[in-house]
């Protein structure tokens, strides 16, 4: 009787170790890199990501934004898609969010808000 109980305990423990070792994770607990937007600008103007990551853009204000590839230079919008950059043309109507990516290539990618002058974001992917 003791042998059966001990054997059952050992087998159960081994199964628990195997399941844990498989690396099963709840995807909802994985943090997504995030950049927040205020009324007329990005809260941070640069972020570094790893290849394969997705970027969450969050509009924390009532202000609309239209995020596109490119950047503002001396008051002039310069739309352009950097080689390897995920294309973006995302409208935010206030208090909403969207994801950009995944970023599959290493490099420096530039995004801007077509509505707000000098609202630039640089995404560096390593």
CA–CA distances in Å: residue 9 to residues 1, 6, 18, 20, 22: 12, 5, 14, 17, 20
Give the pLDDT of residue 109: 98
Q: Where are the domains of the chain?
A: 29-125
pLDDT tens digits for the chain (126 residues)?
Answer: 656 655 555 655 544 544 444 555 555 567 899 999 999 999 999 999 999 999 999 999 999 999 999 999 999 999 999 999 999 999 999 999 999 999 999 999 999 999 999 999 999 999
d(CA 51, CA 38): 27
Give the pLDDT of residue 17: 44
Give the pLDDT of residue 126: 97
Query: Does residue 67 have a cis peptide bond before it, meaning omega lies within 30 degrees of 0?
Result: no
Give the pLDDT of residue 30: 74
What's the fold here for domain 29-125? Immunoglobulin-like (2.60.40)
Give the pLDDT of residue 34: 98
Task: Please name every residue paired with 113 in a beta bridge, in sequence order, or none if there are none.
Answer: 67
Q: Are 64 and 94 in contact (CB under 8 A)?
A: yes
């Amino acid at each position: 009787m003791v042998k059966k109980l001990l054997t059952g305990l050992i087998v159960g423990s081994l199964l628990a170790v195997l399941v844990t070792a498989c690396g099963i994770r709840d995807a909802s607990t994985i943090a997504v890199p995030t950049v927040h937007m205020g009324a007329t600008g990005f809260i941070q103007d640069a972020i570094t990501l790893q290849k394969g990551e997705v970027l969450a853009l969050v509009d924390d204000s009532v202000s609309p934004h239209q995020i596109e590839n490119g950047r503002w230079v001396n008051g002039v919008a310069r739309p352009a898609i950097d080689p390897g950059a995920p294309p973006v043309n995302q409208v935010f109507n206030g208090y909403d969010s969207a994801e950009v990516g995944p970023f599959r290539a290493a490099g420096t990618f530039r995004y801007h808000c077509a509505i707000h002058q000098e609202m630039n974001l640089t995404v560096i992917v390593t």
